[in-house]
Structure 1
């Protein structure tokens, strides 16, 4: 199995794989973000989550990342992506912040 196939297999089983508003593909970490705010049937990309909360996508990422890393159930899923190289959308997301070592 090549690296891209391994990445695409790293998702939360049974969770939506695309944003319910805009249709953008959701990576594992975006699925985790949604789970932290109670979204299970409908999930949203960072841009749509940010629009709903009138914040910037990177601000939403850092806030939800901090929460996810403090909760074992979310942290376990979060760490399935072990390095920035596993980010499936480095051009359309914020991998520097997502994969930074500091827990916010």
Structure 2
């Protein structure tokens, strides 16, 4: 499996079973992976559960926050301090808040 999990990485405690991590993934320090969010459209503001998938050979930069229900593809790089709010296709580099496409990996 060969996964690197850096110091201070936080996995959502509400639904940790909804996190799926591939082979040869690097989660560097202080990353946060969330698998739930607050449904603010509901009058009772209920929690919604989601699923996070991180594909093989992916690097997640320090301090990145991954929000619920996203699919991060294989061979992806996410820049440090990014906030991932939508799916990232295979072989791309993304960064920013919110994270956006930077370029394809060669």
TM-score, with length taken from structure 1: 0.29
Q: Which has the higher helix share?
A: 1
Question: Rg bigger for which structure?
Answer: 2
Q: Which has the higher strand share?
A: 2
The structure with higher relative contact order (CA 8 Å, sep 6+) is 1
